Structure 1
Amino acid sequence: MGNKSAAHRRWTALAAASVALLLGASACAAPPTTSYTNETGQEVTVNWKDYPVSAGLLPEDFSHAVTQEEAQATSDAVLTDIRAALTSVHAFEWSTRGEAAWFPGGGNGYGGKVMTSTFNSTQWESATAPASNAEWEEIVAVTSRITTKHGLGGVQLLFDHENFKTDHSWQKDLIDKYGTADPQRLWWWEGTAYTRSQWLVLHMVNVDRDTTGAAAKETEDSGLPARSISISYGATAVPAKDQAALTQALEPFVGLTPPEATTSD
Structure 2
Amino acid sequence: MAQVKSGGYRRWWIVGAVLAVAALAAVPVGGVAHYMISNAVGRTTTATNADGTERTVYWRDYPGVAGVDPQEIMEGPTPEEGSTAGQAMVAEIKAALSAEFQLAWAPEDAQARTSPFHGPVENGYGGESLLTVVNSPESQSTSVPEAWADKQRAISLIGGIARKYGFGAPTIDTSETWPAEDRIRNLGGLTPDKQVIVYGMAFGPAGQWLSFRFQDLSKDSDGAFEGRLHPPEGSQWQMNTLALSYGANGLLPAENRKEFEARFEPFHGLTPPEPLES
Question: What's the TM-score, normalizing by structure 1?
Answer: 0.76
1:229 aligns with 2:239: no
Amino acid at match of 1:36: A
Q: Which residue of 1 aligns with 2:183?
A: 174
1:240 aligns with 2:230: no
Q: What's the secondary structure of 1:82's corresponding residue? A: helix
C-alpha displacement of 1:179: 5.7
Q: Which residue of 1 aligns with 2:203?
A: 194
1:77 aligns with one of 64, 80, 88: 88
C-alpha displacement of 1:154: 1.8
Change in 2 beyond 3 A, CA 1:187/1:107: closer
Amino acid at match of 2:239: A
Higher strand share: 1
- Higher mean displacement: 199-208 or 23-32: 23-32
Q: Within 5 A, what are the aligned runs for 1:81-96?
A: 81-94=92-105, 95-96=107-108
Amino acid at match of 1:50: D
1:184 aligns with one of 181, 193, 217: 193
- Give the count of matched residue pairs: 238
2:73–2:252 CA contact under 8 A, matched in 1: no
2:188–2:220 CA contact under 8 A, matched in 1: no
Amino acid at match of 2:200: G
User: What stretches of structure 1 of length at least 5 have no aligned partner?
Assistant: 1-19
Amino acid at match of 1:135: D
Q: CA–CA distance in 2 between the matches of 1:117 and 1:213? A: 40
RMSD value over aligned CA atoms? 3.0
C-alpha displacement of 1:78: 0.6
Change in 2 beyond 3 A, CA 1:66/1:172: farther
Q: CA–CA distance in 2 between the matches of 1:108 and 1:151? A: 25
Q: Which residue of 2 aligns with 1:34?
A: 45
1:152 aligns with 2:167: yes
Q: CA–CA distance in 2 between the matches of 1:60 and 1:189? A: 33
1:142 aligns with 2:157: yes
Q: Which residue of 2 aligns with 1:119?
A: 134
Q: Which residue of 1 aligns with 2:229?
A: 219
Output one character per residue of 1:15-37: Cα deviation in whole Å (capped at 9) or x when no partner.
xxxxx998326796322311123
2:188–2:196 CA contact under 8 A, matched in 1: no
C-alpha displacement of 1:88: 0.9
1:23–1:29 CA contact under 8 A, matched in 2: no
Output one character per residue of 1:190-210: Cα deviation in whole Å (capped at 9) or x when no partner.
011123211111111110122
User: What stretches of structure 2 of length at least 5 have no aligned partner?
Assistant: 1-30
Between the aligned residues of both structures, percent identity stands at: 26
